[in-house]
Structure 1
Amino acid sequence: MSSEIDSSTLLSRASQLIDLARKAGADAADAVVVRSRSQSVSVRLGKVEGTESSESDDFSLRVFIGQRVASVSANPGFDLQALAERAVAMAKVSPEDPFACLADEANLSRSYPDLQLLDTTEVSSEMLREAGLAAEAAALAVKGVTNSSGAGASAGMGGLVLATSHGFEGSYMASRFGHSVSVIAGEGTGMERDYDFDSRLYYAELDDPSEIGRRAGERVIKRVNPRQVPTGKDVTVIFDPRVARGFVGHIAGAINGASVARKSSFLRDRMGQQVLKSGLSITDDPLIVRGPSSRPFDGEGVSGERLVMIEDGVLKHWFLSTSTARELGLETNGRGVRGGTAVSPSSTNLALEPGDISPEDLIRSVGNGFYVTELIGHGVNMITGEYSRGATGFWIENGELTFPVSEVTIASNLKEMFMRLTPANDIDRKFGVAAPTFAIEGMTLAGR
């Protein structure tokens, strides 16, 4: 384990790569190694269906010659000099990019906290197998569950090694463990499927696999014999936290600086304006100790800080990397992420901050409405904000969840949905995108 965690050799190779690129004619360069180690076991109906194990250290070199930039990638064992010379040759014939650059030296992280992202617990394939079997067995033991779609368990770690020509060197690793199960209730055309899972940085903090299985079984039997409901044009829809997290992802996409620069966000002209209901805030914090998406520095060597992206309903920040910030005439806020050979902005530990009302009281306050547990399709236009998704869940009648509902569509515009959103107080921050249960008034529901 210690040899897998130690990044000193990779950092040395990255630094050598930069030196060779400079000697070959690059004005500036950075080299990154994206590290990955993983193992997983999948089971179905009491038998192992698959065991997988992988590890990789993927090198990328980015070189700059004036305003020209080129990037190349390679696996371990490559010839450092040949790769550096190839990258420089590519840069010389590349078109100019007025915004491509390294992070300003003044913005580089010189020290950073220990965020406790790595759990070195050794997890064997046998432990993963037993966890998957326990989750499935507990789900199948729930009365009404008729079949299994499979269960699984995984363990792994990943991280980043980064060196730049203007003096940054750093690395970090983060672990990740997971349990999951998916089961079926009902027969024939009346079959319904549901699932449950847990994912944590620390193995000891994972929910017990039997508990995960029980929850999955109880969820699926509630979905049997769903109905359609009549079409309505002024329906209050409550989003279960599982789908609420995805909805907050739409907000993150709309305030991503890259989307703003491309003019592909419906919020591109709304900086400093109210985009959520007063009192609501969205935060992003890369420095949470043991946070699921924490990082001591971003993909360019810049250390971010906690930002209130939307404060009291007012849009305050975009997610920015250096090049995106330059394009918008701004400064990076340490949200650059390496994706292959490119750097683009992204969120870290993103949260729609909770309200004061319990989810039970929120449901009671609705009277009649629709509680969504799963969304289907990709009917979201991030340029216009138009929103239309297939949905399943439960009908709310007299403030109580009643019968299951399927084969309906919910629709509105994200601009209006943001302004009509009321959050409950049940946020779970163990995911990189966190959101409580919330209600949105005035949506269209297309049913029978």
Structure 2
Amino acid sequence: MTSGRCCLAPPVAAPAADPMWQRGRMHSAPVDVDLALLGGGGAASLVLAALDRHGVRGLRVTVIDPVHRRGQDRTWAFWDRPGGDLDPLLSASWQRVEVVTPAARRVLDLAPLRYAMLRSAAVYERAAAAERRLGVTRMLAAVDSVHDDGERVLVRTAGDAPTVRAGWVLDSRPRPPARPGRTTWLQHFRGWWLAAERPLFDPGRAVLMDFRTPQPARGVSFGYLLPVSDRYALVEYTEFSPTLLTGAGYDAALAGYRDLLGLDSARLTVREVENGVIPMTDAPFDAHPSPRVVRLGTAGGATRPSTGFTFSAMRRQADQVARALAEGRPPVPPPAYPRRHRWMDAVALRALDRGTVGGPEFFARLFERNAPERVLRFLDGTTAPAEELAVMSSTRLRPMVTATVGDVAHRLRDRLRPPRPVPAVPPPVRESMIRPEV
């Protein structure tokens, strides 16, 4: 494998008139690197591991983040084929999952795929090992500004950290969309890691979506159950809707779902609590805002608008970046999802938001009328057009046609009127808090 240095610009002296240089730190020379990663969370950790896996050597790489990520601060759940590089890191995986509605319980065989759980500690540990092998430097600092002149990128940091001059910047920090969307929802959730006194869970089967939860007036809710062992499981309540709940609201919804599952709270201990907010919007995210700055993760369009799923696309981006650098190409991944998928997501979001389709019915019909593997690959954005036609035809025709016409009309109005300000979209957050036993 080549080092990838051929696609990176050589260090150049900063011009004296550069405004970035006239705002202090004139006394210290900038640190020159080939690649700077802004943000050190999941996206950056996956990139570091991919660089190591693809044999990228000889690059000067730095990670700039105010926090050195360690431990269990989040959990990712995704589907893929067994045998990948993440297998040794998984906390659990399932080839059989349940989709539950008030009317039916479906057990789905996902083969040749599987549903997998990955906790952050293993990802951060692997990234730290990759850092050591790659000779990566790390700056514990926030980023003040980023200036791309087309040849190098000047990254100005806060505090006493030096300025960085990079050939390329990969930026995974949360960013608002480039312009307003026609529909903006949120995937928001709270989960409890439950420890049982005796065997209680079936580790061979997970609940992917359980729509028996009370449905919000505008949106869709569901619960799910991911057992790691017969005595330890993640139980979570999730909503796709425009507004967040209060803390008490999430706890009440979770307690209700726990009772719905028939779990005796007296025999359970809440060991950890997870909270998350992820944007679901058809607003575009600018993944390549300047010649040598590339955004990854949600900021780079990796979040699927109609579901909030992000991990699989984020993982693809990391692999594409590493392959490009290994082959001496610019580290610019293709769009996370095909344009036709983004359009289908916009239509589905509009139909759900306007209430022309019900959320439980919409998702239940997808799984009832298609092979589970096809639905999961569709949600990941990896299906062919013929498969997508089959998936979309399993939804109710009239509501989707109505949503399509409304989406087209909305797009035409947007072209004819002045740009609107971008509304505040909460950045993606997923936090895990250890709750001591009481």
Regarding TM over 0.5, the answer is: no
Structure having the larger proportion of residues in strand: 1
Larger radius of gyration: 1
Normalised TM-score (structure 1): 0.22
Considering Cα pairs closer than 8 Å and 6+ residues apart, tell me whether 1 or 2 has the greater RCO: 2
